Amino acid sequence: MQMNTNKIQINNKQFKLDDIQQILLNSELSQWEQGVYRFMLNWFDKSDFILQKTSGSTGNPKEIRLKKSAMKASAKKTLAFFNLQKGDTALLCLSIDYIAGKMMVLRALLGGLNLLIVEPNGKPEIPTQAIHFAAMVPMQVQKLIDAGYDFHNIKRLIIGGAAVVYNLQQAIEKLPVAVYASYGMTETCSHIALQRLNGPNSDAHFRLLDGVSISTNAQGCLMINAPELYPEPLQTNDLVDIISPHEFRWLGRADNVINSGGLKIFPEELELKISKLIGRECLIVSVPDKLLGQKAVLVLEGTEENPAIMLDKIKSSIGKHRTPKSVFFVEKFPRNSAMKIDRKAIMIS
């Protein structure tokens, strides 16, 4: 694997590969910084693959082998899509433990970008200099907006790892940065589709990157055909509507579907509708019911003085049968180490 230059630019400074090895000997490096530099060394070792754990957002995390050739192809697709040039600045504020963080580093290596690295927490410290490309999860974007950051120095931002809820979407529309939602997974070396969320060129649906085609199985779950990224068609558990050969609408995970007395309820789709009505992030989960088998309930952060009024408002908009049967409150939505909401950790009693 060869990068475009024999030097690596990190935080506005040029380094050679030997320098990276010396940096790792610095005992003052934090764990997250060590991970970034170790990945750089791993990229240039003799192996043709990277060991990577999946995020665990839809099941137990598992370790898979990702071909470096596939990761390189994915990085090149993103560099081309955003027309990123040598010397442009990219921000890494995601954990290097996950594919999204690794791919940000790789895009910088292959594109000759100046990689700015900051601690990957819920509200990252954004450098003040111009940033041509950044990637974040929705929680980071929301917390930065809540803190008053206006994204004025970022030119392009991709958001992934979880759906963009209505309130965040409304806030994004006012931002000066070009914001894209991304769809992808560990197996495809990050995103295979993007959706512009704001500006005059916003998209109604996800649009596939070049070299990717899709279909669905009998259950309506997405199948991805991207030979450069994955050697064979990849069957997902994501329910979608295919709008055109190049566009699709994501409905949610098949394993999250609630069968309530024969009525199929798609939680992610229902969450979007309800969040528009109540003006806050919400979750729809199922609990056992003697009559219906399963029933959908609404889970919110914090408290509400009169949830019955809220349910009446929801019922008048979406109808009786799809309205959650009750409302539960939690102090904070549980999240995994990738900062995604962990549905399975929601305890309803």
Q: What does the angle CA 274 – CA 341 – CA 246 come to, to the nearest 5 degrees?
A: 70
Does position 69 have pLDDT exceeding 60, yes or no? Answer: yes
Instruction: Look up tokens 């996800």; give the residue.
Output: 206
Contact 110, 3 (CB under 8 A): yes
pLDDT at position 325 is 92
End-to-end CA distance of the chain: 53
Rounding to the nearest 10 degrees, give the CA dihedral for residues 245, 250, 254, 256. Answer: 180
Alpha helices for 179-266 (secondary structure H): none
- Most confident option among 9-18, 76-85, 267-276, 312-321: 76-85
Side chain identity at residue 192, one-letter code: I
Instruction: Look up tokens 């979880």; give the residue.
Output: 162
Spatial CA neighbour of 77 closest among 182, 191, 167, 159: 191
pLDDT at position 37 is 93
pLDDT at position 217 is 96
User: Which segment of 71-75, 183-187, 261-265, 338-342 scores lowest on mean pLDDT?
Assistant: 338-342
Does position 220 have pLDDT exceeding 80, yes or no? Answer: yes
Q: Quote the pTM value.
A: 0.88
pLDDT at position 4 is 44
User: Which segment of 75-84, 134-143, 252-261 scores lowest on mean pLDDT?
Assistant: 252-261
Contact 191, 235 (CB under 8 A): no
pLDDT at position 60 is 62
If one counts every other C-beta atom within 10 angstroms of the C-beta of residue 324, the result is: 26
Arithmetic mean of pLDDT, 169-176: 94
Q: How confident is the model at residue 6 (pLDDT cuts 50, 70, 90)?
A: low
CA distance linking residue 265 with residue 279, whole number of Å: 21
Mean pLDDT over each residue of the chain, to the nearest integer: 91
pLDDT at position 40 is 93
Spatial CA neighbour of 75 closest among 60, 93, 90, 87: 90
Q: What does the angle CA 28 – CA 31 – CA 34 come to, to the nearest 5 degrees?
A: 80
Rounding to the nearest 10 degrees, give the CA dihedral for residues 227, 231, 235, 238. Answer: -60
pLDDT at position 5 is 46
Arithmetic mean of pLDDT, 253-271: 91
Does position 349 have pLDDT exceeding 70, yes or no? Answer: no
Going from the C-alpha of 300 to that of each of 15, 116, 251, 297, 333, the distances in angstroms are: 47, 36, 21, 10, 8
235-258 burial string, b = 16+ CB within 10 Å, else e? Answer: ebebbbeeeeebbbebbbbbebbb
pLDDT at position 59 is 52
Arithmetic mean of pLDDT, 176-187: 96
Does position 266 have pLDDT exceeding 70, yes or no? Answer: yes
Does position 337 have pLDDT exceeding 80, yes or no? Answer: no
Side chain identity at residue 252, one-letter code: G
Please give the helix or strand (H or E) that residue 179 lies within, else none: strand 178-185
Q: How confident is the model at residue 215 (pLDDT cuts 50, 70, 90)?
A: very high
Q: Find how far residue 65's CA is from the centre of its chain.
A: 20
Does position 2 have pLDDT exceeding 60, yes or no? Answer: no
Does position 348 have pLDDT exceeding 80, yes or no? Answer: no
pLDDT digits (tens, 9 = 90+) for 136-157: 999 999 999 999 999 999 999 9
Q: What does the angle CA 143 – CA 189 – CA 285 come to, to the nearest 5 degrees?
A: 50
CA distance linking residue 260 with residue 288, whole number of Å: 9
pLDDT digits (tens, 9 = 90+) for 228-244: 999 899 999 999 999 99
